Amino acid sequence: MISDAYSLAPTPAAAPALGRTLSFSVPIADQGEFGNLRPKWRQDIVATLGVLKQAHALRLRGGYAWCSGTLQLAHAHRHLKGMSAVRIRAKYKLYVESGGDWRSLIKGYKSPGGQPPAFVEFMRGLIEQSPRGVAAACAYLREELWPSGVSIPGYGTWVEWFTGTWPDQPVPTRFPRVYPSGWSPEQLARHQPSRAARAMMQQGIAEAHNYLPKLKRDTSALRPMEIIVIDDFELDHRSTFAGDPERNLPAQIAPVGGLLAKCVGTRKNLAWLLGPRVLRDVRQPDGSIKQVRCNIRTPDVQALLYAVFRDHGLPDYDVTILCETKSATILPALEQFLLIAFGGRVRVQRTSLIEHKTLANGFVEGGGTPWEKGWIESDFNWNWNQLALRLEGWKGSNQRLNGPANDAAKEIHVLRFIGADAAGKKLNLPPEVIEMLKLPFPSFATMEAAFAQVMAAGERRTRHRFNGFDKVTEYVWKNPKLPAPAGIDAHEPNPYRALALLTPEQQEELMVPRERNECALERWERLSAAHPRGALQAAVLALFLLTPNKAKWINHAVSFTLNKVGYSYVDDDGILAGVPERTDLFAYVDFSEPASAVVTHVDGRPLGIVRMLGDSPRGVDITDPEASAEARARRAKLVNLVQEMLRKRPLHQETDARTVADAAHNERVVTTYQAAVADLPTAEKIATARGDIAAKAKAEAAAKVKPDQLLSARARAAAASETSENETHPAESNQDASWV
């Protein structure tokens, strides 16, 4: 039989009779569940069951005994919360109606195991697949899946469940909007999985690590540079790039990225590289042009390692470099070279990569594991907060999600000066003019200076929770208004050694001790004194860690071109004097500081170090008079060096000697002539000079004429004259002219 009703009226259950035997204790079968309650709940249930047992005896007596008896019970247990006469009667009624179930005495108690295990797993999976949260998954089950007749694990379809629940009632033709017990949105939400499971399913294993227990690693026993962590980063700011015509890079607004090497044991910033990630045009194999943004490359990591060991040396214990596997990585060839060239004391360890299949559907999650190098990742957050207060041009960690609302307007304003405006017009300002503009995005030089300040401030901060750092006790002058002895700062903390300037009585009465955390710089200096490091030669390090660039020795300079930028290094000291012109060489350059280069032969034989004129590929800064003077002095030294080299050659010495002799001869001739005409008047001097000139010209002409040539010329002229007399000229027939 089928009913058209949309809802069913449940039949109320009959209340148990008062004469039914009730047990005012916890059954043996429920001891496990009872033991899982809170200790306070267990104590309250035991006390309440004792009171209800006495109230049950009063209820059986009936009449006036029930009212007066509950009042006496309430007075006797007034020290317990919830034991007034009204509450005792209400609890007794609830306990009797539940059939003597102790669970009814706990407010809001949820009985475990109320749903089939298959349904619980299904509900958890549904919530894990819901990208919009728990409430959306519960509503989807109640409003879509269950009414549509989908079979739900543990229940089947709603028709099957209805038939099993009310076998004597007809099945409605439409869904009657009835749900199994425990299917309210609030009750369904109790079956949600852990936050880690939801994050892993929806966002990946990297996000799930935020909701899993953290692995704390004790770094207090580490020595300086025992573990070095390397990581790449991108700032939350953008900078104006003035352009580089030599590399065909236009002016633009570019994000700023870099590399950082940090000592794990001391949190000391060992070295860093910073640069704008500009867009450049790259020609594809099919001839098309694609814009590619500059990123971290292997030579950048090599330059970072070069700076670390050049500035800080190498300790006498093993050094472990922790790096990534993708961007900021160390190639296996360089890793093997470090292991061999440094006596096995420099080792490389890579963080793992995520390659995790969320489900068996062929889709794989990829990415890094930042939690394995939390020492450097946590510092990035502090550094970016400090930069946000110092610089304009903040774009947010995600420019689309949390960037400033006026970011697009700022970009349009800046592009009017460094790019094209809305109408496509360009000002074509040169880079030096763009650097003079005041724009809402800082220049890269400004950002680089601010970044250096933040890195230095981070090493001096004492408000931190770094693991293993010692406490430092400082002493403050108790009353700054009182004059302090010499050597005591009345307004700033004083170190422990300053107490030696005071008597014991003054130390106790006038100085107040204050304890603070040790900063990274203090820990670095303290541990470095106990664990000294050996210095390494920069030239040798360059050969080990930097990439060789094929250069040519030409025009007294070592020159090469990289990424459309010319690099030319001058030999100030003549170390390449014996190298033939146009010889191929290798130049090892740290492009973060390209002022100098280590030069070797192509077979590896070292030559020495050479420097740029002006210490920059762009040349000498014309606004810096000291740099200009130094460059001119270096070039003058080079000119003198070339002149000295020419003077020392034997062939040039003979030519110089002949030139000196000719000059002396000419001087004697002039002196003799001047002595001969010294007593003559001016007119005679002029006539004599003219006569001398004419005689000299006649003598030169006579010297040029040879007799045999003169006779031959006369014979040819005579023969030509005879031939002309025997011929009739057109001029004679016309009588227009006569020939002489």
Distance CA 654, CA 510 (A): 88
User: Contact at 8 Å (CB) between 427 and 417?
Assistant: yes
**pLDDT at residue 180 in the model:** 92
Q: Within 13 Å and on the Cβ side, how many CA atoms surround 209?
A: 11
Higher pLDDT, 267 or 573: 267
Distance CA 188, CA 201 (A): 19
**pLDDT at residue 692 in the model:** 66
pLDDT > 90: percent of the chain: 18
Find the range with the poorest average confidence among 10-19, 61-70, 454-463, 691-700: 10-19
Q: Note the pLDDT tens digit of each residue in 125-149.
A: 999 989 888 999 999 999 999 999 9
**pLDDT at residue 21 in the model:** 72
Query: Which distant-in-sequence residues (6+ apart) come within 8 Å of 340 by Cβ?
Result: none
- Residue 189: exposed, middle, or buried by beta-carbon count in 10 A (0-12, 13-18, 19+)? middle
- Which amino acid, residue 227? I
Residue 173 has pLDDT above 70, yes or no: yes
Query: Which distant-in-sequence residues (6+ apart) come within 8 Å of 559 by Cβ?
Result: 551, 552, 566, 567, 568, 569
Q: What is the mean pLDDT of the chain?
A: 80
**pLDDT at residue 682 in the model:** 66
Closest C-alpha among 640, 618, 638, 621 to residue 629? 621
Tell me what the mean pLDDT of segment 683-698 comes to. 66
**pLDDT at residue 145 in the model:** 94
**pLDDT at residue 723 in the model:** 58
pTM of structure:
0.63
Residue 361 has pLDDT above 60, yes or no: no
Q: Note the pLDDT tens digit of each residue in 88-100.
A: 888 888 888 888 8
Give 123's pLDDT tier (boundaries 50, 70, 90): very high
**pLDDT at residue 226 in the model:** 92
**pLDDT at residue 524 in the model:** 94
**pLDDT at residue 157 in the model:** 94
Give 687's pLDDT tier (boundaries 50, 70, 90): low
Location of structure tokens 């852990």: 194
Distance CA 335, CA 324 (A): 13
Task: State phi, psi for 292 to the nearest 5 degrees.
Answer: -125, 135
Higher pLDDT, 165 or 649: 165
Tell me what the mean pLDDT of segment 676-683 comes to. 69
**pLDDT at residue 13 in the model:** 36
Higher pLDDT, 716 or 165: 165
Residue range(s) in the chain whose domain bears CATH number 3.30.420.10 = 224-458
Distance CA 140, CA 547 (A): 60
Residue 386 has pLDDT above 50, yes or no: yes
**pLDDT at residue 28 in the model:** 87
Give 707's pLDDT tier (boundaries 50, 70, 90): low
**pLDDT at residue 137 in the model:** 94
Angle at CA 628, nearest 5°, toward 623 and 629?
Answer: 130
Find the range with the poorest average confidence among 252-266, 471-485, 546-560: 471-485
Q: Note the pLDDT tens digit of each residue in 190-208.
A: 999 998 888 888 887 777 8
Residue 66 has pLDDT above 70, yes or no: yes
Helices (H) and strands (E) in the chain, counts: 25, 19
Give 364's pLDDT tier (boundaries 50, 70, 90): very low
Distance CA 470, CA 464 (A): 12
Residue 43 has pLDDT above 60, yes or no: yes
Higher pLDDT, 677 or 590: 590
How is 611-656 classified by DSSP, letter by letter? Answer: E-SSSSTT---TT-HHHHHHHHHHHHHHHHHHHHHHHTSHHHHHHH
Give 617's pLDDT tier (boundaries 50, 70, 90): confident
Query: For domain 224-458, which CATH number applies: 3.40.50.620, 3.40.718.10, 3.10.129.10, 3.30.420.10?
Result: 3.30.420.10
Query: Which distant-in-sequence residues (6+ apart) come within 8 Å of 509 by Cβ?
Result: 478
- Residue 691: exposed, middle, or buried by beta-carbon count in 10 A (0-12, 13-18, 19+)? exposed
3-state class (DSSP) for residue 47:
helix
Higher pLDDT, 679 or 68: 68
Residue 266 has pLDDT above 70, yes or no: yes
Give the distance, in angstroms, between the CA of residue 145 and the centroid of all CA atoms in the same chain.
47
Residue 8 has pLDDT above 80, yes or no: no
**pLDDT at residue 80 in the model:** 85
Q: Note the pLDDT tens digit of each residue in 285-311.
A: 888 888 888 887 888 888 899 999 999
Give 120's pLDDT tier (boundaries 50, 70, 90): very high
Higher pLDDT, 212 or 740: 212
Please give the helix or strand (H or E) that residue 385 lies within, else none. Answer: helix 374-390
Please give the helix or strand (H or E) that residue 659 lies within, else none. Answer: helix 650-676
The 3 state secondary structure assigned to 130-195 is CCCCHHHHHHHHHHHHCCCCCCECCCECHHHHHHHHCCCCCCCCCCCCCCCCCCCHHHHHCCCCCH
**pLDDT at residue 142 in the model:** 94
Higher pLDDT, 333 or 229: 229
Give 216's pLDDT tier (boundaries 50, 70, 90): confident
Q: Note the pLDDT tens digit of each residue in 230-261.
A: 888 888 888 988 877 777 788 888 899 999 99
Residue 367 has pLDDT above 70, yes or no: no
Query: Which distant-in-sequence residues (6+ apart) come within 8 Å of 498 by Cβ?
Result: 475, 487, 488, 489
Residue 16 has pLDDT above 60, yes or no: no
Distance CA 149, CA 160 (A): 10
Give 722's pLDDT tier (boundaries 50, 70, 90): low
Task: State phi, psi for 295 to the nearest 5 degrees.
Answer: -140, 180
3-state class (DSSP) for residue 255:
strand
